[in-house]
């Protein structure tokens, strides 16, 4: 049975790519698209897809869409309203919009009782792994800094991915050295402070998409973990995984880790030394 999908923010950079990815997946059916800034236009005009759908202005137009899953890549305030609608109508939600804090998550947990919700600060599987590797490395280093780099259209800073990375590293280790800076000759040279006081630096550059470096240092060595999304297609395998998996994850799930471990590719066992020599 195909999953009936609606996209909030269908005319945006991410929403357009999500519409294209959903339309190309044989297990999914794109049945609704909402974006107040493109309302009334054919979805084809907005996304380049061959589609009979019209872009709707808001949730009022979804009453007859019989959605299974709604995907939201909009703006924080809009996403809060869209998700309230999903929870009230028993529609599963997959959320990529940045900026959800602890209070929002608590609100979502109490609202999503008859349907489920997955919120991920980053749907790129490489970025999910980067966060996991940073968390694993954290207890072995006393100093760490995060540099996130994004396109010049990103309005919020620091990125949700950077803040989430700091939270996970701080949860994995509380043993961070104090910042040695005693004099700041201009304002803000040490960046923002994420969880555990880990400095977070935000770069906004035309031509970039979404990139992050986690720098960790200890005596005599450093480790750099870097992830680059060169294209918005990098987020789509994670978004499709979440759309297909959300009905199996009750309540509110934060991040993609639990979905990835459920669909872990089989790692071939290492060949015994003798067998390798015989090749």
The residues annotated with a catalytic role in the active site are 150, 154
Q: Which is nearer to ligand NAD, 36 or 191 (CB)?
A: 36
User: Given the rule CB under 6 A, which of 28-36, 140-148, 175-183, 197-205 is the region that contacts ligand NAD?
Assistant: 28-36
User: Given the rule CB under 6 A, which of 70-78, 135-143, 195-203, 255-263 is the region that contacts ligand NAD?
Assistant: 70-78
Q: Is there binding between residue 98 and ligand NAD (CB under 6 A)?
A: yes
Q: Which is nearer to ligand NAD, 36 or 126 (CB)?
A: 36
Tokens matching residue 16: 């357009």
Q: Is there binding between residue 8 and ligand NAD (CB under 6 A)?
A: yes
Q: Is there binding between residue 158 and ligand NAD (CB under 6 A)?
A: no
Among 3, 6, 11, 246, binds ligand NAD (CB under 6 A): 11
Q: Is there binding between residue 120 and ligand NAD (CB under 6 A)?
A: yes
Q: Which is nearer to ligand NAD, 74 or 212 (CB)?
A: 74
Question: If binding means CB under 6 A, how many residues of this protein chain bind ligand NAD?
Answer: 24
- Is-contact 28 1, C-beta < 8 A? no
Interface with ligand NAD in residues 170-199 (CB under 6 A)? none
Q: Is there binding between residue 35 and ligand NAD (CB under 6 A)?
A: yes
Q: Is there binding between residue 141 and ligand NAD (CB under 6 A)?
A: no
Cis omega (within 30 of 0) for bond into 268: no
Tokens matching residue 278: 């015989």
Overall residue count recorded for the chain in this entry: 279
Q: How far is the CB of 151 from ligand NAD (least distance, A)?
A: 8
Q: Is there binding between residue 122 and ligand NAD (CB under 6 A)?
A: yes
Q: Is there binding between residue 123 and ligand NAD (CB under 6 A)?
A: yes
User: Given the rule CB under 6 A, which of 95-103, 109-117, 139-147, 182-190 is the region that contacts ligand NAD?
Assistant: 95-103
- Is-contact 161 227, C-beta < 8 A? no
Among 235, 240, 245, 259, binds ligand NAD (CB under 6 A): 235
* CA atoms lying within 13 Å on the CB side of residue 45: 7
Phi, psi of 192 (to 5 degrees): -85, 165
Under DSSP, the state recorded for 9 is T
- Is-contact 118 94, C-beta < 8 A? yes
Beta pairing partners, 116: none
User: Given the rule CB under 6 A, which of 34-42, 61-69, 168-176, 200-208 is the region that contacts ligand NAD?
Assistant: 34-42
- Is-contact 50 56, C-beta < 8 A? no
Q: How far is the CB of 94 from ligand NAD (least distance, A)?
A: 10
Report the DSSP pairing between strands 28-34 and 3-8: parallel
Q: Is there binding between residue 100 and ligand NAD (CB under 6 A)?
A: no
Burial 56-86 (b: 16+ CB within 10 A, else e): beebebbeebebbbbbbbbeeebbbebbebb
Q: Cβ-closest residue to ligand NAD?
A: 12
Rounded Cα distance, 178 and 127, in Å? 27
Count Cβ atoms below 10 Å from residue 265 Cβ, excluding itself. 6
């Amino acid at each position: 049975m195909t999953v009936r999908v609606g996209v909030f923010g269908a005319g945006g950079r991410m929403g357009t790519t999500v519409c294209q990815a959903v339309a190309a997946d044989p297990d999914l059916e794109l049945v609704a698209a909402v974006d107040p800034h493109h309302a009334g236009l054919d979805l084809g005009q907005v996304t380049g897809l061959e589609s009979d759908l019209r872009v709707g202005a808001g949730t009022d137009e979804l009453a007859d869409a019989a959605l299974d899953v709604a995907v939201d890549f909009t703006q924080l305030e809009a996403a809060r309203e869209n998700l309230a609608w999903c929870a009230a109508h028993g529609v599963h939600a997959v959320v990529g919009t940045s900026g959800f804090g602890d209070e929002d998550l608590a609100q979502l947990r109490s609202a999503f009782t008859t349907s489920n919700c997955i919120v991920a600060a980053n749907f790129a599987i490489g970025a999910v792994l980067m966060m996991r590797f940073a968390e694993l490395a954290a207890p072995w280093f006393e100093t760490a800094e995060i540099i996130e780099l994004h396109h010049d259209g990103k309005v919020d800073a620091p990125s949700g991915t950077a803040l989430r990375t700091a939270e996970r590293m701080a949860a994995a280790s509380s043993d961070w050295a104090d910042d040695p800076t005693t004099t700041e000759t201009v304002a803000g040279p040490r960046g923002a402070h994420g969880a555990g006081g880990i400095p977070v630096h935000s770069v906004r550059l035309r031509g970039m998409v979404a990139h992050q470096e986690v720098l960790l240092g200890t005596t005599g060595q450093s480790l750099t973990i870097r992830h680059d999304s060169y294209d918005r297609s990098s987020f789509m395998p994670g978004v499709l995984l979440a759309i297909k998996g959300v009905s199996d994850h009750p309540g509110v799930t934060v991040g993609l880790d639990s979905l990835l471990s459920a669909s872990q590719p089989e790692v071939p066992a290492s060949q015994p030394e003798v067998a390798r020599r015989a090749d």
